[in-house]
A and B are shown apart, each in its own frame.
Chain A
Amino acid sequence: MAQIKINNLSHSYQKNKQILKDLSLDIHDGELLSILGPSGCGKTTMLRLISGLLPMQEGSIIVAGGDISKVPVYKRNFGMVFQSYALFPHMTIFQNVAFGLKRKKLSKSEIFEKTLSILKTTGLLDLKDRMPNELSGGQQQRVSLARALAINPDVLLLDEPLSNLDAKLRIEMREEISRLQKKMKMTTIFVTHDQEECFAISDRVAVMNHGKIEQLDTPQNIFRHPKTKFVAAFVGYENFVPKQWAKEHNWRYNDIISGSQLTIRPEKIELGSNENILNGKVLVKNFLGNNYQYIVETELGRMKVDTQQENYEINDDIGLSFSEKSLIELEDGD
């Protein structure tokens, strides 16, 4: 039962350089919410404020109805998984996981049982007597997760937990996180700069830029209806068109939002059909495996096109077309 309300959170490390700006965010009980944003936008700062590792300057954080702003980190009962794993080097895996339980008022046998059970759930039973430096990166991160979960935290915080793992392990591990989170129904904040990673496991995603949340929504809605140019660019919309230009050239689009830009994904554009909407010349052709990517110079600037068509070459003059439904209206950011 831990709903989190973050109210008007601001933070600066140095004078006149605000990292978080009046940030507010509600996280539902039991949901997995991702904070998605580029490196340096303030994700870690926000997570450290929530965890209590960083003292709060402005704003408040309410967890399950209580203000925790003044509660010291070691009394919050939050779990944290660090990017660098941060296992205790002088303890076995078993001791690492049991460490937090020893702080609770439990008997020796209860600690033993609970530790074994969490080791079992996380698939670490065979490794329990090893030392951290005898484990691979993926195994270490698993231990780090087990250690955080062992104290049965009210909130689980993960700061780019997968970024040090290779591609295959990353997918395996994110599924593990998702599985355990659902099983334990734990309110979870997952910080990442990887769009695919967070879309795969999140209930909702908060896209963050320069210390502010630009959009908070389900992965589907963020993918289909990005609100601002920043969000659109971050989730793979590569082409931007001024609304004014579209209007002058009689493009049809929904005219609901007051913003000045439209955007379209590269895979929504077709090449060389009869009803060309835009003409251009091929600048670059790249083979991407599933498809080709063409960069086409047009009067709107460079447009990226992802397509199966392979019979165009550099310097070919071609026409671009797309359905009007694919044009997404954007709000103007600030």
Chain B
Amino acid sequence: MKSKIRFSSIVGFIVLLLLILPLAMVVVTSFGTEATISFPIKGFTFEWYHNLFQQPDFVDGMKMSFIVAIIASCLALLVGIPAVYALTRFQIHRRNWFQNIFLSPALIPEIVIGFALYQTLVISFGLPLFISLLIGHFLLCLPYVIRLLTAGMLDLDKSIEEAAWMVGYNKVITFFKIVIPNIKQSIMAAFILSFINSFNNIPITLFMNGPSLNMLPTSILNYLENNYDPTVSAVSVILMIITAALMMIAEKYLGLNKLV
């Protein structure tokens, strides 16, 4: 018993080291004065953070990634909430079949989704890049939304809705006045997870990327091809902070163990 506890704490410690050390390294190098990323640092500066916001590539990329993540997450919720309600509340022929379809994007390698969408939407149908990218990110977000909302709906006693019908509310009003307020934590958590996944996504984004459409992950990669200075560390730190902050909010709403 005791040795088991010791073993798991050692493993835990190693995992933590593997995770924390490189991240700590990135944080430290982002403040280094050297012109290339190096460790240990010789001096301390905010110059790279300053430089970051001088690069139109990064600023535009961040804006665009932000916009895409917001729209894709909202679309996924707009489709996901009614879909989950139907899946959990109505007698549906082939319920599992539908459920699996909604969840399937999570099972296909993202790079394959990206490539396939690029081939069909952009090349064959000639859809604008931005629309194709939104569709890709929407597909990426949908499984998270479906999973989190299904858990939320299953927790909600069906007779609560019936009680509202009994006192005079039709099913549509009941949906907005009773169902939505009681699953709003799941909705919030689904939105945050969708947002993070879209914002940090590379595989799908790589394909739907062009001179007119500049996304943050690809601008980082582009920048790295020509420069190896701590600006990249600085942008990584900012990404980490945004993600961690969002995760903390999500965790507060739903508990992390339910999220993954």
Residues of B151-199 whose CB lies within 8 A of A: 157, 159-160, 162-171, 178, 181-182
Distance, CA A248 to CA B169, complexed state (A): 65
Stretch at the interface among A3-11, A31-39, A73-81, A209-217: A73-81
Distance, CA A323 to CA B185, complexed state (A): 68
Question: When the two chains form the complex, which single residue of A53, A72, A88 contacts B170, counting CB atoms closer than 8 Å?
Answer: A72
Please name all residues of chain A whose beta carbon is closer than 8 Å to the beta carbon of B178 when the two chains form the complex.
88
Question: When the two chains form the complex, which single residue of A74, A86, A89 contacts B168, counting CB atoms closer than 8 Å?
Answer: A74
Known contacts A89-B182, A90-B182; A84 and B168 CB within 8 A of each other: no
Distance, CA A51 to CA B165, complexed state (A): 10
A103–B167 contact, CB under 8 A?
Answer: yes
Distance, CA A144 to CA B164, complexed state (A): 11
A86–B169 contact, CB under 8 A?
Answer: no
Please name all residues of chain A whose beta carbon is closer than 8 Å to the beta carbon of B182 when the two chains form the complex.
88-90
Distance, CA A241 to CA B160, complexed state (A): 49
Please name all residues of chain B whose beta carbon is closer than 8 Å to the beta carbon of A253 when the two chains form the complex.
none
Please name all residues of chain B whose beta carbon is closer than 8 Å to the beta carbon of A144 when the two chains form the complex.
163
Question: When the two chains form the complex, which single residue of B162, B163, B169, B171 contacts A147, counting CB atoms closer than 8 Å?
Answer: B163
Distance, CA A72 to CA B171, complexed state (A): 10
Which chain B residue lies CB-closest to A79? B166
A151–B167 contact, CB under 8 A?
Answer: yes
A51–B166 contact, CB under 8 A?
Answer: yes
- Nearest chain A CB to B155's CB is how many angstroms away? 10
B160–A53 contact, CB under 8 A?
Answer: no
Please name all residues of chain B whose beta carbon is closer than 8 Å to the beta carbon of A53 when the two chains form the complex.
162, 165-166
A259 interface residue (CB < 8 Å to B) = no
- Nearest chain B CB to A71's CB is how many angstroms away? 12
A-B contacts, CB under 8 A, total: 61
Please name all residues of chain B whose beta carbon is closer than 8 Å to the beta carbon of A77 when the two chains form the complex.
168
A88–B164 contact, CB under 8 A?
Answer: yes
B163–A86 contact, CB under 8 A?
Answer: yes
B160–A86 contact, CB under 8 A?
Answer: yes
Please name all residues of chain B whose beta carbon is closer than 8 Å to the beta carbon of A79 when the two chains form the complex.
166-167
A88–B166 contact, CB under 8 A?
Answer: no
A78–B164 contact, CB under 8 A?
Answer: no
Please name all residues of chain B whose beta carbon is closer than 8 Å to the beta carbon of A78 when the two chains form the complex.
166
Please name all residues of chain B whose beta carbon is closer than 8 Å to the beta carbon of A99 when the two chains form the complex.
164, 167, 169
- Nearest chain B CB to A277's CB is how many angstroms away? 53
B167–A86 contact, CB under 8 A?
Answer: no
Please name all residues of chain A whose beta carbon is closer than 8 Å to the beta carbon of B169 when the two chains form the complex.
74, 99, 103
Distance, CA A98 to CA B178, complexed state (A): 14
Please name all residues of chain B whose beta carbon is closer than 8 Å to the beta carbon of A198 when the two chains form the complex.
none
Distance, CA A86 to CA B170, complexed state (A): 17
Known contacts A88-B178, A90-B181, A90-B182; A73 and B160 CB within 8 A of each other: no
Distance, CA A104 to CA B168, complexed state (A): 8
A86–B165 contact, CB under 8 A?
Answer: no
Which chain B residue lies CB-closest to A90? B181
Question: When the two chains form the complex, which single residue of B160, B165, B168, B171 contacts A88, counting CB atoms closer than 8 Å?
Answer: B160
B181–A86 contact, CB under 8 A?
Answer: no
Residues of A45-75 whose CB lies within 8 A of B: 51, 53, 72-75
Please name all residues of chain A whose beta carbon is closer than 8 Å to the beta carbon of B157 when the two chains form the complex.
84, 86
Which chain B residue lies CB-closest to A82? B159
Interface centre among A74, A82, A104, A148 (most CB of B within 10 A): A74
Distance, CA A74 to CA B169, complexed state (A): 6
Known contacts A89-B182, A90-B181, A90-B182; A100 and B160 CB within 8 A of each other: no
B165–A73 contact, CB under 8 A?
Answer: yes
Please name all residues of chain B whose beta carbon is closer than 8 Å to the beta carbon of A84 when the two chains form the complex.
157, 159
- Nearest chain A CB to B167's CB is how many angstroms away? 3
A80–B166 contact, CB under 8 A?
Answer: yes
Which chain A residue lies CB-closest to B166? A80
- Nearest chain B CB to A148's CB is how many angstroms away? 7
- Nearest chain B CB to A74's CB is how many angstroms away? 5
Apart from the given pairs A73-B166, A90-B182, A99-B167, 14 other A-B contacts in the complex at a CB distance below 8 Å: A53-B165, A74-B171, A77-B168, A80-B162, A80-B163, A86-B162, A88-B160, A88-B164, A88-B182, A89-B160, A99-B164, A100-B168, A103-B168, A151-B167
Query: What are 23 pairs between A and B in contact, CB < 8 Å?
Result: A53-B165, A73-B162, A73-B165, A73-B166, A77-B168, A79-B166, A79-B167, A82-B163, A86-B157, A86-B159, A86-B160, A86-B162, A88-B178, A90-B181, A90-B182, A99-B169, A100-B166, A100-B168, A103-B168, A144-B163, A147-B167, A148-B166, A151-B167
Q: Which 4 A-B pairs have the closest CB atoms?
A: A100-B167, A103-B168, A86-B159, A86-B163
